[in-house]
Amino acid sequence: MSAKKVVLVTGSDLAEAAIGMLEDYELVFAGRQPTENQLIALCQQHNPVAILVRYGKITASVMDAAPALKVISKHGSGIDVIDVEAAVARGIMVRAATGANAAAVSEHAWALILACAKSIIPLDRRLREGHWDKSTHKSLELEGKTLGLIGLGAIGSRVAKIAGAFGMKVLAYDPYAATVPPGCERVDVLEDFLAQADVVSLHCPLTPQNRGMINAVTLAQCKPGAILVNTARGGLIDDAALAAALKGGALRWAALDSFNSEPLTTPHIWERVENVILSPHVGGVSDASYVKMGTAAAANILQVVQDSSQTETAY
């Protein structure tokens, strides 16, 4: 049995650069989509000093199965899969690779915005079916339109910057942002914000306070024919309300990269909604971000495990 301290990776792989950073530790890989019971069993078997979170949820029961656990390090920025309150109560540090996937997610958000505005998916399908829609199709031109961003962290700020190249007006709703980027206008009332935005893009973390913030009430406040894009967290949206708004024509399109229940398997609510684009929570996954997230998560582990002065939970 190895004498090295153990780092449990809740996934089947990790960037080589990150593995190299953790060469003094034994890495145990939990495999794809590990269950809570599987994670508990691995913690009981290996007693890791750190958990590097790629997939699955880190619950209080998982933490209790690893008495040596010092840090839970997220391979990415979203920590809603970690029971932070339980970690704090147990003196376990929580770290996130903040900003490591900002470029990838912001690019994916724009890919979805453009796919919606230009009807890329249905045009491709119809052309393959033998239809030539040049004389009947009209796409949505983004120049002069208003982009509304909910959340102005590293990702939202990058999305705002790119909007300038399209000649769009940018509004931001973020009660927690101290400043807004140049060329971006803050709107403090959500109803006023939604009424003005031609495109609404979500870039905020999921919290108990904002869960289901996109619901029947807020969707009714949206500008008629607006586009909604979510590359943040599925829990921000009331699925039934959004499906109704799309089917009823209140919204032009929606594009979703994150879902209330993952992995999304059939049957699901979106199967018969024609004006929604789906992607399997891959916005933050690119060749470069895979390395950046892995090395940032590894660095966060080393900082806590090797530095006894690290006593405060930080994200």
Q: Which residues are catalytic?
A: 233, 262, 281
What are the tokens at 209?
């306070």
Angle at alpha carbon of residue 241, lines to 210 and 259, rounded to 5°: 60
Pairing of strands 184-186, 146-150: unpaired
* CA dist., res. 61 & res. 54, Å (int): 18
* CA dist., res. 59 & res. 214, Å (int): 27
Contact between 167 and 146 (Cβ < 8 Å): no
Alpha helices, DSSP H, located in the chain: 16-21, 36-46, 60-64, 84-89, 102-117, 120-128, 154-163, 190-196, 216-220, 239-247, 287-306
* CA dist., res. 234 & res. 199, Å (int): 18
Residue 101 backbone phi and psi in degrees, to 5: -110, 15
